[in-house]
Amino acid sequence: MTVTLDWLGCATFRLTVNGFVLFLDTYMDRVSTAPAVGLTSADIAEADALLIGHSHFDHVAGADVIAKRTGAKVIGSNETARLLREAGVPDAQLLPSQGGERHRLHDDVTVRVFPSLHSCIWTRAAAPGTVLTGDYGLTQDERLAVRAGLAASGGGLGRGLPAELQRESNSLRASQLHSNSDGGKLDYLIETPEGTVFFADSMGYWTGVLSDLRADVALLAAAGRGNIDGEPIQGAVEDFIERQVSMLKPHTVVLGHHDNWIGVPDQPDITDVTPVRERLARVAPRVRMLEVGYLESTRLF
């Protein structure tokens, strides 16, 4: 039996377990200035299950297109299920989940679902290598004020997008599946006869959930300000990844969400993840960090 992995940009992966095809997130229809990943959702003719981490467009968009064409089952939050239902995906394909479920998708594939957390999008974020501190212990009102302050100073998501690109981005988003709510982020542990694959599509977790989990392979988002038990990490991206790896103890790590998915014209395609690579080499030298390009099919097991 072979298990292969393709990265499709942002936090989207295709996992193929002996011919059974799972998409982990489904976002691949991007603005023209974001590097093309080589496939659009309309190209996908084969999919058996879609696992959606949360309901923001850069994760859930495309799930409706793929689900309708292929008949794939979709696992996601109630908010994700609502979006798909409203887009015309039959209820029989939807497996709304909160965390705590274990779905059998195939003789060889079961999926455990865990409650999780989105990254702290209300405060500052930085690429790997930059330590961020502060913004600790704030109420929701205070967090909204931080977010408003960032937006007013032009420091929010999509900062500095040229007007024409912002228009393109807005009109693309208007045509895509999207919720302003993350819907309650879910993490997944995909169980196969050859090994397990953990998937997280945003930088957040509950320690109480992750500390008892183990995975052979971990697909980990590496973008934004990490969220640990509801508070922003006092540290950098590599500190967050190190903590996840110390709990999950995978032999292989693949990062996601670190490419230029938003299409900022003057940004490199791939964020430099050297600080993460160097950290893991130091604290977890037996862990293999795979760095794959789009659609570079990689055998996991």
Q: How far is the CB of 202 from Zn ion (least distance, A)?
A: 5
Q: How far is the CB of 197 from Zn ion (least distance, A)?
A: 21
Q: Where are the alpha helices (DSSP H) in the chain?
A: 57-60, 63-70, 78-86, 140-152, 163-174, 207-210, 237-248, 274-283
- Which CB atom, from 17 or from 200, has the smaller least distance to Zn ion? 200
Q: How far is the CB of 124 from Zn ion (least distance, A)?
A: 16
- Which CB atom, from 4 or from 179, has the smaller least distance to Zn ion? 179
56 lines the binding site for Zn ion (CB under 5 A): yes
Q: How far is the CB of 17 from Zn ion (least distance, A)?
A: 26
Which region among 52-60, 64-72, 97-105, 208-216 touches Zn ion (by CB under 5 A)?
52-60
Burial category of 103 from C-beta neighbours within 10 Å (exposed 0-12, middle 13-18, buried 19 and up): middle
Token output for 290? 């795979």
**CB 198, CB 113: distance < 8 Å:** no
What is the total count of residues that contact Zn ion (CB under 5 A)? 1
Name the residue with the smallest CB distance to Zn ion: 56
258 lines the binding site for Zn ion (CB under 5 A): no
Which region among 30-38, 49-57, 162-170, 189-197 touches Zn ion (by CB under 5 A)?
49-57
Residue in the structure block whose two tokens are 């496939």: 39
Token output for 219? 């697909």
30 lines the binding site for Zn ion (CB under 5 A): no
Q: How far is the CB of 159 from Zn ion (least distance, A)?
A: 16
CA dist 181 → 41, 60, 80, 110 (Å): 22, 12, 10, 27
- Which CB atom, from 56 or from 112, has the smaller least distance to Zn ion? 56
For residue 41, give the DSSP letter.
G
- Which CB atom, from 56 or from 258, has the smaller least distance to Zn ion? 56
Residue in the structure block whose two tokens are 């940004």: 267
**How many angstroms separate the CA atoms of 35 and 49, rounded?**
26
**How many angstroms separate the CA atoms of 51 and 95, rounded?**
10
Give the footprint of Zn ion on residues 86-125 (CB under 5 A). none
Which region among 23-31, 50-58, 105-113, 266-274 touches Zn ion (by CB under 5 A)?
50-58
Beta carbons within 8 Å of 90's beta carbon, 6+ residues apart: none
Q: How far is the CB of 185 from Zn ion (least distance, A)?
A: 8
Residues that bind Zn ion (CB under 5 A): 56
